[in-house]
Amino acid sequence: MPVKNRFAELHQDITAWRRDLHEHPEILFDTHRTSGIVAEKLRAFGCDEVVEGIGRTGVVGIIKGKSDSSGKVIGLRADMDALPIHEVTGLDYASKTPGAMHACGHDGHTAMLLGAAQYLSETRNFDGTVVVIFQPAEEGGGGGREMCEDGMMARWNIQEVYGMHNWPGMPVGSFGIRPGAFFAATDQFEVNVKGKGGHGAKPHQAIDPLVTASHIVTALQSIVSRNSDPDDQMVISVTGIESSSKAFNVIPASVMFRGTMRTMSKTNRALGEERFKALVSATATAFGCEAEIKWLPGYPAMVNSEAQTEFAADVAEAVSGACDREAPITMGGEDFAYMLEERPGAYILVGNGDSADVHNPEYNFNDEVIPAGCSWWAEIVERRMPVA
């Protein structure tokens, strides 16, 4: 089965919705316009229930099948938020908001799930219930977590959840997925190393926090190379360092550095945090400094369930002819992790073709992905809950 014919008919409409969303990007939880459009369309499609305000600006739509002898309830999730990036694509529907841009394709994700919701509302060709989930604040705000905390899974008795992200560099409409940990846990840290400032020519009268911080930054890489199991991917990146001295000849009193730790397993996440704190404190002490550590937990690793991943890959193969079932792990984070912690499910990548990478000011979602993406959503529902 290739893509569904109905999506060839709806392709133009869905593209127009996508481009309108692209023109009006909204960041984090401030997706008021987008959420309003989503809710209005879901009502117009004839969804059985549309609820706004789940996870602040999240929207949930319920679509009941022709029958419900299975008692199954499947959640399909899209993200709606944009990024604080200034768009330079020069498109005629480029962002009208300076400094905000749909640079991760969430405009496409929202439009495709809306398209699927329209089709599923029209056809109802399944035995059970679909919950379409539109979340805000995927890009760092934890909108998915907040929807879960609002009790979404229990309120609608959701039993499985599915998610999809476009992926630049993969052929348009092709799919990739893998079971187990797929996206990383994304913790962050900020460390303030305090010493004693002084004249650059009289280091013996100072306690140099910059030399100390440099040793710490170097030592941190030993967590990845010496403590972590080589089979278990891990990244520690120190991405910024700031000295309290702006002069050529003044040893600073303090130095701050910050960065991120990416891990794929709970074991490495705990080990990394523990080793990080021990190395920072002990190294600072060894050099006569003090270190203040701010550990900022981020999203957990996103882990695909085995059975649902295999099913999602079978559906992708039916839609596009092939599916890479061993797509490479990404050390990026994904807020869908919280939904997968609450319910079994799977998250799949769909090729965006030869485009600029996500989070790049040149990026654009490829509208040619729409028929394959929508078909995957619809087919997930019709195959998982077939009518008798």
- CB of 21 or CB of 104, closer to Zn ion: 104
What are the Cα distances from residue 144, in Å, to 105, 223, 341? Answer: 17, 30, 11
Minimum distance from residue 84 beta carbon to Zn ion (Å): 11
Minimum distance from residue 333 beta carbon to Zn ion (Å): 9
- CB of 45 or CB of 299, closer to Zn ion: 299
- CB of 61 or CB of 141, closer to Zn ion: 141
> In 191-344, which ranges are continuous DSSP H helix?
209-222, 266-286, 306-320, 337-342
Pairing of strands 73-79, 160-167: parallel
Looking at the DSSP assignment, which residues form a beta bridge with residue 346? 162
The Cα–Cα gap between 89 and 95 comes to 9
Residues 6+ apart with CB under 8 A from 36: none
CA dihedral 120, 123, 126, 127 (to 10 degrees): 110
Applying CB under 5 A, the site for Zn ion has a residue count of 1
First to last CA, the chain: 20
- CB of 104 or CB of 319, closer to Zn ion: 104
Minimum distance from residue 74 beta carbon to Zn ion (Å): 22
- CB of 104 or CB of 113, closer to Zn ion: 104
> In the chain, which ranges are continuous DSSP H helix?
5-23, 32-45, 106-123, 143-149, 152-155, 209-222, 266-286, 306-320, 337-342, 370-384
Question: 3-class SS at 218?
Answer: helix
- CB of 104 or CB of 185, closer to Zn ion: 104
Minimum distance from residue 358 beta carbon to Zn ion (Å): 5
When CB distances to Zn ion are compared, the closest residue is: 104
Minimum distance from residue 334 beta carbon to Zn ion (Å): 7
Q: How far is CA 25 from the centre of its chain?
A: 17
Minimum distance from residue 50 beta carbon to Zn ion (Å): 24
- CB of 108 or CB of 179, closer to Zn ion: 108
Q: Check if the beta carbon of residue 43 is closer than 8 Å to that of residue 50.
A: yes
* Binding flags for Zn ion, 86-105, as an x/- string (CB under 5 A): ------------------x-
* Binding flags for Zn ion, 102-121, as an x/- string (CB under 5 A): --x-----------------
- CB of 167 or CB of 257, closer to Zn ion: 167
Minimum distance from residue 103 beta carbon to Zn ion (Å): 7
Minimum distance from residue 381 beta carbon to Zn ion (Å): 23
How many Cβ atoms from other residues are within 10 Å of residue 372's Cβ? 22
> Can you tell me which residue has the tokens 């994904």?
334
- The site for Zn ion (CB under 5 A) is made up of 104
